[in-house]
Amino acid sequence: MRAFGARHPLARAAAGAEPDWKTAEKHLTHLIELITGQTALAQPDATGTVRRAENGAVQLLVTLDTVANYRCPICVKRRRDPL
């Protein structure tokens, strides 16, 4: 998921520096939770649902990575709707 990590640079990082992997992972997890939905996670055996959501999130991010000026959807949402 280097492409997604690249969308999360460390603050004031020099060009070519490692991304902020902690934030990238947190946002990927949040995206998976959004795709899965809370009701699906409450099921006794949600393993298949979670796996499909993970695959869906990865496919979404891979697809969006081909778009010019793509930004993390979680970052965009948080900037638009502050917590």
Instruction: Check pLDDT > 80 for residue 26.
Output: yes
Residue 53, Cβ neighbours under 10 Å: how many? 20
Instruction: Check pLDDT > 50 for residue 67.
Output: yes
Q: Which residues pair with 9 in a beta bridge?
A: 19
Q: Which domain holds residue 70?
A: 2-7+19-80
Give me the mean pLDDT over the 55-64 stretch.
85
pTM of the entire structure? 0.70
Domain count, the chain: 1
Residue 42 belongs to some domain of the structure: yes
Using an 8 Å Cβ cutoff, are 4 and 15 in contact?
A: no
Residue 28: is it exposed, middle or buried by C-beta count within 10 angstroms (0-12/13-18/19+)?
buried
Which phi-psi region, left, alpha or beta, contains residue 7 (left: φ > 0; alpha: ψ -120 to 50)?
alpha
Residue 41 belongs to some domain of the structure: yes
- Which is more confidently placed, 68 or 24? 24
- Which is more confidently placed, 8 or 40? 8
Instruction: Check pLDDT > 60 for residue 83.
Output: no
Question: What pLDDT does residue 42 have?
Answer: 64
